[in-house]
Amino acid sequence: AQTVTQSQPEMSVQEAETVTLSCTYDTSENNYYLFWYKQPPSRQMILVIRQEAYKQQNATENRFSVNFQKAAKSFSLKISDSQLGDTAMYFCAFMKGSQGGKLIFGQGTELSVKP
């Protein structure tokens, strides 16, 4: 069975600084997707970034980037130039296969961006 672990329950960062959230996962699959979802206080789940396991290049979306280390089964999220609106719970998630299927979530990291 696949598992996802986020070892940082809470983190804080000053506005405009950079922060990295950690995620590790365990799987015997070779084909899978990894995601970071953001859940602000409104509780809406919002996709931040995705990574296909077969791609070696790390995904980037504006201020958000990942460090995907397939051999180490590590998938960290870097937020650059942190903004107050980045304050939220961040969930790392794993999906097996290439088409469809359930997400397996980590426990979440609560990020606070301080002015």
Partner 1 sequence: DAGVIQSPRHEVTEMGQEVTLRCKPISGHDYLFWYRQTMMRGLELLIYFNNNVPIDDSGMPEDRFSAKMPNASFSTLKIQPSEPRDSAVYFCASNSPGQSYNEQFFGPGTRLTVL
CB of residue 56 to partner 1, shortest distance in Å: 17
Query: Of 1, 17, 29, 11, whose CA–CA distance to 104 is shortest?
Result: 1
The backbone torsions φ and ψ at residue 86, rounded to the nearest 5 degrees and listed phi first, read -80, -10
Q: Is 8 in the site for partner 1 (CB under 8 A)?
A: no
Interacting positions 45-84 with partner 1 (CB under 8 A): 45-47, 50, 52
Residues 13-42: x where in contact with partner 1 by CB under 8 A, - otherwise, as a string: --------------------x-x------x
Strand 46-52 relative to strand 19-21: parallel, antiparallel, unpaired?
Answer: unpaired
Query: Of 65, 51, 110, 58, whose CA–CA distance to 86 is shortest?
Result: 110
Taking CB under 8 A as the criterion, the residue among 25, 90, 91, 94 binding partner 1 is 91
Q: Position of tokens 């280390």?
A: 69
Give the residues lining the site for partner 1 (CB under 8 A). Answer: 33, 35, 42-47, 50, 52, 91, 95, 98-108
